[in-house]
Amino acid sequence: MPPIYLQEGDLHIRLFLQPKASKDQFVGIHNDELKITITAPPIDGKANEHLIKFLSKSFRVPKSAVILEKGELSRHKYVRIQAPKQIPEIIQRLLSDFNQKMSEN
């Protein structure tokens, strides 16, 4: 299963989170997960809150549409974004690359 895929209108992302970074950004694929850096520290759920806010802005959905399915206390997370209104360019490229690889196999 690829780290990023669309299913029934929702975007599913297996990610590796790096908190306390210099900026919020999508980095790319890291060990078969999407690496995301955020500025919030990993204290008292602040990193998860910040991640949800970052993803909701990036995909133009309400925060309630970003669901942390697994990994609340881990850097390795599984997130589902319900009906994203926008898909950032880096994510579009990765989805395209994974879809192309899947169709070749």
| Residue 46, token pair as written in the block | 């602040």
CB–CB of 81/59 below 8 Å?
yes
Report whether pLDDT(101) > 90.
no
pLDDT tens for 42-60 read 999 999 999 999 999 999 9
Confidence at residue 31, expressed as pLDDT on a 0 to 100 scale: 93
pTM recorded for the entire structure: 0.93
Report whether pLDDT(105) > 90.
no
4-102: what fold? Conserved Hypothetical Protein Mth637; Chain: A; (3.30.1200)
Nearest CA among 70, 69, 49, 52 for reference residue 61: 52
- Domain layout of the chain by residue ranges: 4-102
Band (87; pLDDT cuts 50, 70, 90): very high
